[in-house]
Structure 1
């Protein structure tokens, strides 16, 4: 992917996969692999050994990354595509459905 249209902190809606129609905030973005991690979406169970951080080890649940193509940006409660536009010499993201600037 050349540019990621989704950024950390954006609210997104999952449009494909086992968690379809769930919404959440983006926790992390992996530009290299084109993946995003969304809170409370794509929960996996992981078995961990005892360590300094986790004394007991055991089974923990955590969010796993999902492909960025499987999420859409939520603008005013509706899923929309994102485009780019240059305003005042600065490149900003624009909601395709309304034409409003997302980045202030």
Structure 2
């Protein structure tokens, strides 16, 4: 399995779907399903029963996973594709638009 180009903590822009052009921080990455959880994107309403953690219960708004192919990494405010290259003996991600190393 190849490494994913989006990681937790990255800032991404949605390029397809109902939330197109929204930006947010990646909260979680599901490697098996190739999906990401992005802050304030793909919001759903969930009906929650009262519990110890949520005494009131009721309707809760939360983020749902979105396919990783529908987001692009933001590097210096610009959406860019991501590539991998070897920097010495270390594999690093780089922005294809500028050629700069991301991390």
- TM-score interval for Structure 1 and Structure 2 normalised by the shorter chain: over 0.9
Moved over 2 A (4+): none
Mapped to 2, the partners of 1:51 and 1:88 lie a distance apart of 53
1:20-39 matches, cutoff 5 A: 20-39=20-39
CA RMSD of aligned residues (A): 0.8
Instruction: Give 1:2 deviation, angstroms.
Output: 2.6
Task: Give me the TM-score of the superposition, normalised by structure 1.
Answer: 0.96
| Aligned positions, number | 103
Task: Give me the TM-score of the superposition, normalised by structure 2.
Answer: 0.97
Mapped to 2, the partners of 1:73 and 1:81 lie a distance apart of 7
Residue of structure 2 equivalent to 1:85? 85
**Which ranges of structure 2 fall in alignment gaps of 5 or more residues?**
none
Mapped to 1, the partners of 2:2 and 2:49 lie a distance apart of 38
**Which ranges of structure 1 fall in alignment gaps of 5 or more residues?**
none
Instruction: Give 1:10 deviation, angstroms.
Output: 0.3
Instruction: Give 1:37 deviation, angstroms.
Output: 0.4
- C-alpha offsets along residues 50-87 of structure 1, whole Å, 9 cap, x if unaligned? 11111111000000000000000001111000000110
